[in-house]
Amino acid sequence: MTDRYAVIGNPIEQSKSPLIHTTFAQVTGQDIDYIKVLGPLGGFAQTVDAFRASGGRGMNVTAPFKLDAFAYATDLAPSAQMAGAVNAMKFVGNKVYAENFDGVGLVRDVVHNLGCDLQGRRVLILGAGGATRGALLPLLVEQPSELVIVNRTVAKAQELAALAQQHQTGQVPVLGVGYDVVQGAFDVVLNASSSSLTGELPPLSASVFAPGCLAYDLTYGKGLTPFLQLAQQAGVTQLADGVGMLAEQAAEAFAWWRGVRPDTAAVIAKLTVPLV
Ligand code: ATR
């Protein structure tokens, strides 16, 4: 019988997950069905219960339900615990296993797809919300020389820096600062704030971009965002948005569900929106 999977969100029309997972299924020869589910606000648990009762094997979770999924899970992976949010669930009997693959997807894209080694490099990440929280441990595993979190609300950046320091096994210095005190230039600058969703420019000095650095915006499909424009004007030539992260987090979920990891190149090529 064909195994059933879905992505749940509200709204859900925009989701690329069905396209991504059906492409993965084709290239790996897996027999799955993957649909979009519009979850009613306040009705997450009932909707997931119904999907499980109909034979559903797993779900991706998108806004605004990542915290509902966190509460719904019976078994939270360390990645989900650290992120404080869930983006993939696997149903086995009464168990709901939950993961968050966003951070690992980001790092895989940066290191493997874009060929940007993080070890020994200075990394700056903008924002101190859920996206940054999920990225912290996967970034630290790569052993950058330093990780700086910059946020408008400085206390949130400091809080995340302290959390990361507590959980990492290595000795990478992690700092939480405000935009007015970011010091020096960075080899990798990641925009994990939600500024690009509203078309805003974070109050970032162009001097943060080191020669040869990578400027990466975690949002997807918004073209040359104000953050990427700032980087380009500062002379940065390696610019990327979150299309690779989207594909890589999906590949992680697919591998977790199906035991086979699909190649992401075809999906990335299909979904890439030019950075203009
Ligand atoms: P997400 O889950 O997508 O990370 P979030 O938890 O709402 O979203 O966090 C959004 C982050 O983007 C916050 O760190 C926010 O900064 P504040 O904590 O100071 O509000 C940041 N952010 C949003 N708009 C921004 C902008 N125009 N410039 C810089 N940072 C911005």
- Which atom of ligand 1 approaches the CA of 153 most closely? 19
Same domain, 214 and 109: yes
Q: Is 153 in the pocket of ligand 1 (CB under 6 A)?
A: yes
Q: Are 113 and 232 found together in one domain?
A: yes
The answer as to whether 78 is a domain residue is yes
Q: Report the CATH number at residue 78.
A: 3.40.50.10860
Do 169 and 45 sit in the same domain of this protein?
no
Mean pLDDT on 95-123? 98
Task: Note the pLDDT tens digit of each residue in 141-184.
Answer: 999 999 999 999 999 999 999 999 988 877 999 999 999 999 99
The CATH number that applies at residue 166 is 3.40.50.720
Residues 60, 66: Cα–Cα separation, whole Å: 9
Residues 256, 236: one domain?
no
116 and 229 part of one domain: yes
Q: Is 196 in the pocket of ligand 1 (CB under 6 A)?
A: no
Residue-level pLDDT at 179? 98
Q: Tell me what the pLDDT averaged over the chain comes to.
A: 97
What confidence tier does 59 reach under pLDDT thresholds 50, 70, 90?
Answer: very high
Q: Please answer whether residues 131 and 137 qualify as being in contact, where contact means their C-beta atoms are separated by less than 8 angstroms.
A: no
Strand order across the beta sheet in which 95-99 lies: 32-38, 3-9, 56-61, 88-92, 95-99, 75-76
Position 167 in a domain: yes
Q: Are residues 28 and 72 in the same domain?
A: yes
pLDDT above 90: percentage of residues in the chain: 97
| Structural domains in the chain (count) | 2
Kindly state whether residue 184 falls inside one of the protein's structural domains: yes
Q: Does the structure show a pLDDT above 90 at 186?
A: yes
Distance 81 CA to ligand 1 centre (A): 20
Verify whether ligand 1 is closer than 6 Å to residue 167 (CB atom): no
One domain for residues 115 and 160: yes
Domain limits for position 212 = 103-241
Residues 6 or more apart in contact with residue 54 via CB below 8 angstroms = 4
**178 Cα: distance to centroid of ligand 1 (angstroms):** 13
How many CB atoms sit inside 10 A of residue 95's CB?
Answer: 12
Asked if 138 contacts 202 with a C-beta cutoff of 8 angstroms, the reply is no
Read off the pLDDT of each residue in 207-223 and give the average, rounded to a whole number.
97
Judge whether 256 lies within some domain: yes
Asked whether residue 226 is domain-assigned, the answer is yes
Catalytic (active-site) positions: 66
Q: Are residues 138 and 82 in the same domain?
A: no
**pLDDT of res. 1:** 80
- DSSP character for 240? E
Q: How far is the CA of 51 from the centre of ligand 1 (A)?
A: 33
What mean pLDDT is predicted for residues 81-105?
97
144 and 248 within one domain: no
Please state the atom number of ligand 1 nearest to the C-alpha of residue 131.
Answer: 4
- Asked whether residue 26 is assigned to any structural domain, the reply reads yes
Q: Are residues 129 and 184 in the same domain?
A: yes
| Span from the CA of 150 to the centroid of ligand 1 (angstroms) | 10
232 found inside a domain? yes
Contact 216, 191 (CB under 8 A): yes
pLDDT value at position 38?
98
Q: Of ligand 1's atoms, which has the minimum distance to the CA of residue 126?
A: 30
Whether the CB of 128 sits within 6 Å of ligand 1: yes
Same domain, yes or no, for 50 and 163? no
Do both 109 and 207 map to the same domain? yes
In a domain, 276, yes or no: no
